Chain A
Amino acid sequence: MTSQQLPPGLIGARTRRKEDPRLLTGRAQFVDDVVLPGMLEAAVLRSPHPHARISSIDISAALTVPGVFAVLTGHEVRDACATPQPVVWRMIPDQRMTDQYALAVDKVRYVGQPVAVVAATDRYVAEDALGHIEVEYEVLDPVVTLDDALAADAPLLYEDWPDNVSCRQTIPKGDAATAFAEADVVVTETLTYGRQMGAPLETRGAVMSWDPFTDHLECWMSTQSPNLTRDLLGEVLGLPVDHIRVRTPHVGGGFGNKFDFYAEEVLAALLSKRTGRPVKIIEDRLESFVANAHSREQRIEVSVAAKADGTITGMRGTVWAVLGGQLATVGIGPCWLSMALMAGPYDIPNVEATVVGVVTNRSPYGSYRGWGQPKANFAHERIIEKLAHELGLPANDVRRRNLIPADKFPYPSQVFYYDSGNYADCLDMAENAVAERGWRKRCDAASNEGRALGVGYSFHIEISALGPSKIMNQAGLQHSSFDEEVVRIDSAGGVTVRTGLSAMGQGIETALAQVAAHTLGVPLDSVTVLHGDTQTNPFTGYGTGASRGAALGGGALLRASTRLRDKVLRIAGHVLEASPDDLEIADGVISVKGAPGGPSITMRDIGDAAYRRLDGKLPDGEDPTLEERDVLDPDNVAFSYGTTAVLVEVDRETGRVDVLDYLLVHDCGTVINPMIVDGQLHGGATQGIGGALYEEIVYSPEGQPLTTTFMDYLIPTATEIPRFETLHMTTTADHIPGGFKGMGEAGTIGAASAITAAIEDALPDLTLHLARLPVSPPRLLDAIDVATASKENS
């Protein structure tokens, strides 16, 4: 486990982020800052009905509104597009696809589905014009819930399907039937994970400029996946990709939402083509609650078979994915991953897990930080807690008995090979840390005052560093997932890194700069990281998601920088008349090892030797310039992992839960910048707390979304989140240069499991088995009432 250990240096340093002065002083540029001469602004008319046929659309009045330049409807969009909106994850070969366009054609299947779009002089006029578009709908019975969709007489969203099921797949490992037949104990649970979404501070947006003479499309977009976007725009619009340039300014939060490819970018491009002017489209906050990818909502049935000592011998599970009215870019992807990772960190020999994708009249289900993993985690951690309760064992004893032992890596799960880990050590470390911090004593002291405090744990794994392109293609991905990085030293010794990854607040500029500076031996300040332009920057497969940026971008850059360093040393050796092997680079100065005060040469001199005054300095046979590129398409993904421990207080009279303390013990291999990793974990955990206690997209029984502002969709704010503490372990990924693993999604994964366990621990006199998220105060009070009544009756 040490082959990728790096010497101490900038990799591993808690340096301040290069991008922060810009971001914190309001000087960063976002897509809405892009203003082009003659630019129009667009607004989308959205369906007010969850399920209806479009009888007619009359745009004539809207076209007469002064300042309106164009109005598009569904038939025009379909005719202008070469393909429907793409679905890039196709894990299940016989899945029924929904093949929808950027505007609804003939039928709408969720409130908020785009029906028409207007381009006008500004957004005010465009919104005025929306009020003049007359749409006649034939309203159909809505399919609002999973049960509605599965009912025998359910209305069909797609009339050429036999039912509302888009796909179904079971992946077995071993022999679950025998395991369950021979088990000492079987426990079963049905869990409901609420519908939620990422809510970046900057909503989605695009500026599109279609050159009518050359058919070149200039795009400015707030996207996590600029190269994928370019390819998909090319497919949908029927344009060669060399005609498309995607520029990505700073992304004001991505959270997976901005990995996906949406209707609005296609509409803005078509409006620009129609009007001959650049067109800006910015999703407003109100729209975002129906137009941004929804996520998380699943019903999960999970059972385990176990021996009396807590050894789990088998697991069965079914993920019921509550998809929306059409497939989003990632299709069944996140829900499939919930199924594929349901056994989590546990060494369970026999697993049989199924995913069923069901369409409903809700907004489409797409990417959100964590993808399927928070749900998979909720399934395996809730069932561990229930099994422990059933057997009268501490839950962590059951965890410890079943965690994959360190000597079993690489470990074949249902689908993936987990690369490395020391899971039991991680759990021990968390328990010891909690003991040192005296949480249990705080619980006891509170109990004496009549207050209810509890401690809960969860163990999570996180798939990261996605991934090996050919294997991902075999799994159904219609795109690659390697990463390309370019590093250049200029004529004055400055370093420029070019990346295809997007800067979305996660600190990728700093992380990549640390890798380059560490490897090249130059000061961090001498490295500039350029991102956000497909025309001038390398190709990153997939996008800036799946916890892959630092691991794959960092790994590729490490290799490129290592080769560039070798060239620097060859030139320096020539000038200093020394063997390159005897040289070292520190702080931008190359000198002979162990000879302080001896001859040396600076990186500036090396730049000069490679670009300007070559004679006598650049060795014969060495090309001028100093540039290297590298492509990392790893052999495997990498699995990070961690233990979450939380201390909560429950108000038994109101059902209110306050998270008092929060500890993460985490292992993501080699850490590039602990401050960035901590920040990522804290941010993810905050979203996890939101999903556990606050956030839920609610629909009325008629299919109307009821949470369309931040007054109703409750994101935890600074006052609702605790102080976080993180402790690190390092088990390197030995198939990734540098040993990096990703961790961008980690914080979201284990939060709900630990919090629900802590709530139950706070009420030890009751048997709660919390099975529905979020645990809102009324829901918890109901559960307390039910458990109290059941105790009194028994």
Chain B
Amino acid sequence: MKPAPLDHVRATGLDHAIETLVAAGEDAKILAGGQSLVPLLAMRLAQPTTLVDLGGLRELDYIRDDGDTLEIGAMTRSRTVETSPVVAGAVPLLPAALRYVGHVTIRNRGTIGGSAAHADPAAEVPSVLRALDAELIASGPRGPRTIAARDFFDSFLLTTLEPDEILTAIRIPRQPSGSVVAVEEFARRHGDFALVAVLGAAHIDSSGRIAEVRISIAGAAPTPVRADAAERLLVGRTPTPELVRAAAAAASDATDPGSDIHAPADYRRTLATVLTRRCLTRLVADTERTEAA
């Protein structure tokens, strides 16, 4: 478990990083926390000729509240995001989901941008970005561009980033005040990748109707799944157990899970149903509790 020989370039600035990436061609990899890449290197499953290390780019390490949106630099550590009061106030679903990412030591090293760009469909960050309609900002030799989350995740571990582009920031619309969030994750052990996780956010108005609801599902398709049909069933309605069950079934229908040694596809579909129901039930209960308080 020793990496093959490679050139390690510690970027001194974003422009330097992009130049290095362009010069190295398709055989370069970006190091942005290393929690997934370093094991792949050690097992020689990835053998890049050049490693572009973004670890020194303080310019990509920030959390900025722009009012309607929250912008987070790609090199911001997951633990920093998780514990930020600014993030908790603007997009509470993100810290709620980050608590399920590996263990604290992993979140201390891993970055929000690294997780997004790695595009593991079982990971929490991509699902949060899908649920909240985030935008991802990338920079390359042709300048910066903005990509909607729904267009960013292409397939298993694949994004629509070009090989010479670097993800620099994510921008997430502020959740409406009074939003409740819930994450229902089923992993074999604490800290493991989810077999399936359902991430939900809702705003239920004072009359008890669902004004807004967002549901995304991790681990149940080659990309994070946004449960649009389930959301449409719920919006404008007053939640009842029957409605929640119907929405859960609709959410499960939106999944396209694969089979692996930990769970067959059918099992993941069952989990999607059960976890969506539990997630929605929690959202409703939390709203009621908040109102009672």
- Residue A448 lies at the interface, judged by CB distance under 8 Å to chain B: no
With A711-B192, A719-B190, A720-B190 as contacts: A778 and B267 at CB distance below 8 Å: yes
Instruction: Return the 5 tightest CB-CB contacts between A and B, nearest first.
Output: A719-B190, A284-B1, A778-B267, A124-B2, A698-B261
0/1 interface trace, chain B 1-39, chain A, CB 8 Å (1 if under): 111110000000000000000000000000000000001
* Chain B residues near A186 (CB-CB < 8 A): none
- Residue A127 lies at the interface, judged by CB distance under 8 Å to chain B: yes
* Cβ–Cβ contact B192 & A714, under 8 A: yes
With A694-B188, A719-B189 as contacts: A777 and B267 at CB distance below 8 Å: yes
* Chain A residues near B89 (CB-CB < 8 A): none
* Chain A residues near B188 (CB-CB < 8 A): 694, 714, 776-777
With A286-B43, A707-B261 as contacts: A717 and B2 at CB distance below 8 Å: no
- Residue B44 lies at the interface, judged by CB distance under 8 Å to chain A: yes
Interchain CA distance A665-B142 in the complex, whole Å: 70
When C-beta atoms are compared, the residue in chain B nearest to A713 turns out to be: B261
- Residue B263 lies at the interface, judged by CB distance under 8 Å to chain A: yes
One of A285, A653, A694, A707 near B189 (C-beta < 8 A): A694
0/1 interface trace, chain A 120-132, chain B, CB 8 Å (1 if under): 0001100110010
With A714-B188, A714-B189, A777-B267 as contacts: A285 and B274 at CB distance below 8 Å: no
* Chain B residues near A656 (CB-CB < 8 A): 186
- Residue B84 lies at the interface, judged by CB distance under 8 Å to chain A: no
0/1 interface trace, chain B 154-196, chain A, CB 8 Å (1 if under): 0000000000000000000000000000000010111111010
- Residue A706 lies at the interface, judged by CB distance under 8 Å to chain B: yes
- Residue A654 lies at the interface, judged by CB distance under 8 Å to chain B: yes
When C-beta atoms are compared, the residue in chain A nearest to B196 turns out to be: A654
Chain B proximity of A91: nearest CB distance (Å): 34
Interface positions, chain A 456-476, Cβ under 8 Å from B, are none
When C-beta atoms are compared, the residue in chain B nearest to A715 turns out to be: B189
Interchain CA distance A355-B39 in the complex, whole Å: 41
Interchain CA distance A716-B267 in the complex, whole Å: 22
* Chain A residues near B261 (CB-CB < 8 A): 698, 706-707, 712
When C-beta atoms are compared, the residue in chain B nearest to A716 turns out to be: B189
Interchain CA distance A776-B3 in the complex, whole Å: 34
Interchain CA distance A712-B264 in the complex, whole Å: 15
- Residue A236 lies at the interface, judged by CB distance under 8 Å to chain B: no
* Cβ–Cβ contact A777 & B263, under 8 A: yes
Interchain CA distance A123-B5 in the complex, whole Å: 12
Chain B proximity of A715: nearest CB distance (Å): 8
With A127-B2, A284-B1 as contacts: A778 and B264 at CB distance below 8 Å: yes
Q: What are 17 inter-chain pairs, A to B, with CB distance below 8 A?
A: A123-B2, A124-B3, A124-B5, A284-B1, A286-B1, A653-B274, A656-B186, A694-B188, A698-B261, A714-B188, A714-B192, A716-B189, A717-B191, A719-B189, A776-B188, A777-B188, A777-B267
- Residue A781 lies at the interface, judged by CB distance under 8 Å to chain B: yes
* Cβ–Cβ contact A781 & B267, under 8 A: yes
One of A131, A654, A698, A711 near B186 (C-beta < 8 A): A654
Chain B proximity of A773: nearest CB distance (Å): 15
Looking at chain B's contact residues, is the secondary structure mostly helix, strand, loop, or mixed? Answer: loop
Looking at chain A's contact residues, is the secondary structure mostly helix, strand, loop, or mixed? Answer: loop
- Residue B221 lies at the interface, judged by CB distance under 8 Å to chain A: no
Interface positions, chain B 260-277, Cβ under 8 Å from A, are 261-264, 267, 270-271, 274
B4, B186, B270, B274: residue with the most chain A Cβ atoms closer than 10 Å? B270
0/1 interface trace, chain A 698-711, chain B, CB 8 Å (1 if under): 10000000110101
With A714-B192, A781-B267, A781-B270 as contacts: A127 and B186 at CB distance below 8 Å: no
* Cβ–Cβ contact A128 & B4, under 8 A: yes
When C-beta atoms are compared, the residue in chain A nearest to B1 turns out to be: A284
* Cβ–Cβ contact B4 & A778, under 8 A: no
0/1 interface trace, chain A 188-204, chain B, CB 8 Å (1 if under): 00000000000000000
* Chain B residues near A698 (CB-CB < 8 A): 261
* Cβ–Cβ contact A654 & B192, under 8 A: no
Interchain CA distance A650-B4 in the complex, whole Å: 46
* Chain B residues near A720 (CB-CB < 8 A): 189-190
Interchain CA distance A559-B4 in the complex, whole Å: 57
0/1 interface trace, chain B 67-97, chain A, CB 8 Å (1 if under): 0000000000000000000000000000000
Interchain CA distance A720-B5 in the complex, whole Å: 39
Chain A proximity of B218: nearest CB distance (Å): 16
0/1 interface trace, chain A 705-736, chain B, CB 8 Å (1 if under): 01101011010110110000000000000000
* Chain A residues near B44 (CB-CB < 8 A): 127
With A128-B5, A284-B1, A714-B189 as contacts: A654 and B263 at CB distance below 8 Å: no
Known: A284-B1, A653-B270. 12 other contacts (CB 8 A): A127-B2, A131-B4, A286-B1, A653-B274, A711-B192, A714-B188, A717-B191, A719-B189, A719-B190, A777-B263, A778-B267, A781-B267
Interchain CA distance A698-B264 in the complex, whole Å: 14
* Cβ–Cβ contact B274 & A654, under 8 A: yes
* Chain B residues near A716 (CB-CB < 8 A): 189
0/1 interface trace, chain B 114-150, chain A, CB 8 Å (1 if under): 0000000000000000000000000000000000000
* Chain B residues near A714 (CB-CB < 8 A): 188-189, 192
* Chain A residues near B191 (CB-CB < 8 A): 717, 719
Interchain CA distance A712-B2 in the complex, whole Å: 20
Interchain CA distance A91-B261 in the complex, whole Å: 36
* Chain A residues near B274 (CB-CB < 8 A): 653-654
* Cβ–Cβ contact B4 & A285, under 8 A: no
Chain A proximity of B249: nearest CB distance (Å): 14
Interchain CA distance A286-B44 in the complex, whole Å: 11
When C-beta atoms are compared, the residue in chain A nearest to B268 turns out to be: A778
* Chain B residues near A128 (CB-CB < 8 A): 4-5
Chain A proximity of B257: nearest CB distance (Å): 12
* Chain A residues near B2 (CB-CB < 8 A): 123-124, 127
0/1 interface trace, chain A 208-228, chain B, CB 8 Å (1 if under): 000000000000000000000
Chain B proximity of A291: nearest CB distance (Å): 13
0/1 interface trace, chain A 124-155, chain B, CB 8 Å (1 if under): 10011001000000000000000000000000
Chain B proximity of A717: nearest CB distance (Å): 6
* Cβ–Cβ contact A717 & B43, under 8 A: no
Chain B proximity of A461: nearest CB distance (Å): 31
Chain A proximity of B251: nearest CB distance (Å): 15
* Chain B residues near A781 (CB-CB < 8 A): 267, 270
Interchain CA distance A756-B44 in the complex, whole Å: 40
Chain A proximity of B244: nearest CB distance (Å): 14
When C-beta atoms are compared, the residue in chain A nearest to B2 turns out to be: A124
* Chain A residues near B190 (CB-CB < 8 A): 717, 719-720
When C-beta atoms are compared, the residue in chain B nearest to A785 turns out to be: B270
When C-beta atoms are compared, the residue in chain B nearest to A718 turns out to be: B190
Interchain CA distance A45-B241 in the complex, whole Å: 58
Chain A proximity of B233: nearest CB distance (Å): 21
When C-beta atoms are compared, the residue in chain A nearest to B266 turns out to be: A778
Interchain CA distance A716-B188 in the complex, whole Å: 9
Interface positions, chain A 594-639, Cβ under 8 Å from B, are none
When C-beta atoms are compared, the residue in chain A nearest to B188 turns out to be: A714
Interchain CA distance A65-B18 in the complex, whole Å: 33
Interchain CA distance A131-B2 in the complex, whole Å: 13
0/1 interface trace, chain B 201-233, chain A, CB 8 Å (1 if under): 000000000000000000000000000000000
Chain B proximity of A658: nearest CB distance (Å): 11
0/1 interface trace, chain A 26-45, chain B, CB 8 Å (1 if under): 00000000000000000000
* Chain A residues near B186 (CB-CB < 8 A): 654, 656, 777
Interchain CA distance A712-B3 in the complex, whole Å: 21
One of A131, A654, A706, A776 near B271 (C-beta < 8 A): A654
